[in-house]
Amino acid sequence: MIRYIDEYRNKEMVLRLAGQIREATSRSLRFMEVCGGHTMAIHKFGIPSLLPGNIRLLSGPGCPVCVTDRKFIDQAVSYARRSDVIITTYGDLIRVPGSSSTLDAEKSKGSDIRIIYSILDALAIAKQNPGKKIIFPGIGFETTTPPSAAGILKAREEGITNFYLLSSHKVMPPAMEALIDEGVEIDGYIAPGHVSTITGTSIYRDIPGKFGLGCVISGFEPLDLMQSILMLALQMERGEPKVEIQYRRAVRPEGNPKALEMIRKVFEPRDDWWRGLGILKSSGLGLREEYSDMDAEKTIPVEVEKTREDKGCRCGDILKGLATPGECKLFDRVCTPLNPVGACMVSNEGACHAWYRYRT
Amino acid sequence: MKTNKNERILLGHGSGGKLTHELISGLFMKYFSNPHLDLHTDSAIMRAEAGHIAFTTDAFVVDPIFFPGGDIGKLAVCGTVNDIAVSGARPLWLSAAFIIEEGLPMAELERIVAGMAQEAGKAGVEIVTGDTKVVGRKQCDKLFITTAGLGVIEARHLGIGTGEKMIPGDKIIINGSIGDHGMAIMSARNELQLSSPLLSDCASLNGLIESVMKVSGNIRFMRDATRGGLSAVIGELVRGRPHGLVINEEDIPVKENVRGMCELLGFDPMYVANEGKVLMVTAAADAQKIVECMHQHEYGRDARIIGEIVPDHPGKAWLKTCVGGNRIIDLPAGEQLPRIC
């Protein structure tokens, strides 16, 4: 496995690509990486220091935790406070600040909140605790939605009646389009590698034609990212923006039809809140009517506090690429990974967290 | 003490009565026995050389308490021995306090105590005083151990702990591969099946450090890289200093299985815990000689020079990444893993 990774971290080849990028264009170009995994890799390997001054990378809204609205956390916190509820969640959600609390804080006060690594763990907990309602707050894009769908289908198949999903699952394209409508000035997208393994290329189809932006689906290693940046630079230099796949070893144009079918079977599109972007049309995924008995929102009514945003937190602008973390007044002063104000500082994949850890 | 296979720790073992006495004399005294401890006094009285003493304490709460390459007891001895040794001092005496959860199998406790005695013997230190408490079920997780340690330090080594004598040009040395302990804990916790077993690097480093101090009088800084990994030590080492430092990622030794597991789980080995690694800053002229000296020692076989102190970017540590990029190394924020030491 390591040999396989090392091939994509070959220093000579990375430096050769850096030279080719420098030669390809002298125009000032701004590319946005949409996926949090890319943000982390770019900073971890010091990619910005390898690029010529005319090429700038911006971080976009591709970290699932970061785009999760405060309202969603408040809702999860309210559920956590009920004595008949066990919250089962992936670990990165528990430190995300809500309006006045976090799941972590509720856990320390005695709420039953369990960190799981797979939704199947949640189903097992449901079976072991028939007297409790097991709620799974589902976040993330096309990569994390299929496992949630599989969990719902399995719960139905096994007749588990005390498992509920609190869905904040989202789809990527509306956000990518909304950013451009918001006036974010970029020349192309480094499109998410993992999302694209599920969706294929069709979700980006309109972006070159409608907005004149390049779109290269990239892998996560340094050579992948450098090659993707070169491909984008060449597209822009030639004036031919299009959708291209750099990450060919994982992404097929048609995506993963089986996973897509599973998502379609369980979820339907709905308008959804995005941190910093507000409500975006058809950008979220809610459970279909036939699974509404497993929909926490519909079946377990709960009072949720009024959403309160922190003054000064620029997560919204940062997610839109309008500001860098360094331009936020709270960054590294009030807001640190130990005391995150905004969600971008919580997740490993958040732009602020990556900046904090690997400032390049 | 007659221990049968199924015997477990009872609340009564911490009551101060007969059971406590049995536990202390039958288990702790049996393994830790030495002239100071055997006197059963409230304080151990030792005779020290004139001069400065080094004094440290550490609490150990690792989960699971047994892991590949060690256990909580070995960790409790090594951790405190190393904290003294990296200050430039010679560790001599330890204390050990045990908080035990009711129900802990006696055989497990015995295994841990025997291992502590063995490690203390290997490191040349005596456990001269101790304490035992038992708490009810779920009031602690199996076993917590606190050790404190005393050592003596020669006046010429007094600046090693603070690093006040570091100057640009000095070399940065690590005694071997990083991330072994954290990933061993992770594999034990998740029962991951690996093709090659991943062992904690948990070890007492005072022997290695003593050998190095014999070949060089120019060690300017030492610290053991534990929780928070190599990054934490590097971050602490440079913060607030009038100089910066540069580390070459390519030169940092990382075992293949540790790297593979880090890749799989999304960890950065630079932030993963070690329990047998010391970072040294030494005069450039002595660096190669020190590395060669380490290579002769069982805990220094993979020692390497990994970077140097530079006059530029004061207070900041830069990493030259494996692909030739640059980035800052900062103190880790938050834990990558819970309860690793």
> Model confidence over B139-195: pLDDT tens digits?
999 999 999 999 999 999 999 999 999 999 999 999 999 999 999 998 888 766 666
- E strand or H helix that includes residue B235: helix B229-238
Q: Do A360 and B263 touch (CB under 8 A)?
A: no
Residue A250 lies in a domain: no
B333 lies within 8 A of chain A by CB: yes
Range of the domain at A319: 315-358
Q: Is B313 left (phi over 0), alpha (psi -120 to 50) or beta?
A: left
Distance CA A186, CA A207 (A): 12
Same domain, A101 and A165: yes
Residue A24 and residue A105 in one domain:
no
**SS3 for A237-252, per residue?**
HHCCCCEEECCCCCCC
Name the residue type at position B294. Answer: M
Q: How far apart are CA A114 and CA A23, in angstroms?
A: 52
Cα–Cα distances in angstroms (integers) from residue A323 to residues A183, A319, A352, B148, in the given order: 13, 8, 11, 49
Task: Give chain A positions within 8 Å (CB) of B263.
Answer: 1-2, 5
CB < 8 Å to A5, chain B = 263
Cβ distance of B325 and A9 shorter than 8 Å: no
Distance of CA A323 to the CA centre of its chain: 18
pLDDT at A337: 79
pLDDT tens-place string over residues A34-79: 888 898 899 899 999 999 999 999 888 878 888 888 899 999 999 9
Average pLDDT value for chain B = 93
Residue A306 covered by a domain: no
User: What is the enclosing helix (H) or strand (E) of B231?
Assistant: helix B229-238
Tokens of residue B124, six digits: 């040349």
**Residue ranges of chain A whose CB lies within 8 Å of a chain B CB:** 1-2, 5, 9-11, 14-15, 18, 43-50, 95, 222-223, 336-338, 348, 356-360
Mean pLDDT, residues A158-173 taken together: 95
Beta sheet of B143-153, edge-to-edge order: B52-60, B143-153, B90-101, B126-135
How confident is the prediction for chain A on average, in pLDDT?
91
**B15-24, long-range: CB < 8 A, 24+ apart:** B15/B134, B20/B132, B23/B132, B24/B132
Q: What is the pLDDT of residue B332?
A: 67
Q: What is the CATH number of the domain that holds A16?
A: 3.40.50.11750
Closest chain B C-alpha to A15 CA, distance in angstroms: 7
User: In this structure, are A214 and A345 located in the same domain?
Assistant: no
Report pLDDT digits (tens) over A94-107. Answer: 888 889 999 999 99
Helices (H), chain A: 2-7, 11-24, 36-44, 64-67, 70-80, 103-108, 119-128, 145-157, 173-181, 193-199, 206-211, 222-238, 257-266, 296-299, 315-319, 351-358
Q: According to the model, what pLDDT value does residue A322 have?
A: 81
Angle at CA of residue B70, ends B64 and B74, nearest 5°: 100
- Is the per-residue pLDDT at B333 higher than 80? no
Can you read off the two tokens belonging to residue B3?
Answer: 């221990």
Does A25 fall in a domain? yes
Nearest CA in chain B to A4: B260
| Each residue's pLDDT tens digit, B207-254 | 999 999 999 999 999 999 998 999 999 999 999 999 999 999 999 999
DSSP B96-118: EEEEEETT-BHHHHHHHHHHHHH
A87 and A207 both lie in a single domain: no
Same domain, A166 and A294: yes
* pLDDT for position B240: 92
Answer yes or no: do A49 and B259 touch at CB < 8 A. no
Residue of A nearest to B259 (CA): A2
Q: Is B338 on the interface with A (CB under 8 A)?
A: no
Contact: B268, A44; criterion CB under 8 Å: yes
Give the closest residue to A57 by CA, choosing from A48, A44, A66.
Answer: A48
> A41: which 2 tokens?
């890799």
Question: How would DSSP label each residue in A287-308?
Answer: E-GGGGGGBHHHHS----PPP-
Instruction: Kindly indicate the confidence band of residue A210, based on its pLDDT and cuts at 50, 70 and 90.
Output: very high
Are A9 and B323 an interchain contact pair (Cβ–Cβ within 8 Å)? yes
Nearest of A287, A266, A288, A270 to residue A279 by alpha carbon: A270
The count of structural domains within chain A is: 3
List the single best residue of A102, A338, A357 to mutate versus B (max B Cβ within 10 A): A357
In this structure, the answer to whether residues A165 and A265 fall within a common structural domain is yes
Q: Select the residue of B266, B321, B327 nearest A359 (Cβ to Cβ).
A: B327
Does residue A273 share a domain with residue A138?
A: yes
pLDDT above 80 (res A17)? yes
Cβ <8 Å between A9 and B268: no
Name the band, by pLDDT with cuts 50, 70 and 90, for residue A121. Answer: very high
Same domain, A146 and A262: yes
| Confidence grade of residue A307 (pLDDT, cut at 50, 70, 90) | confident
Domains in chain B, CATH or no CATH each: 11-157 (3.30.1330.10), 171-329 (3.90.650.10)
Lookup result for tokens 């602008």: A317
Residue B309 DSSP SS3: strand
Q: Residue A209: which residues within 8 A CB-CB, separation 6 or more?
A: none
Q: Are residues A167 and A70 in the same domain?
A: yes
In a domain, residue A304? The reply is no
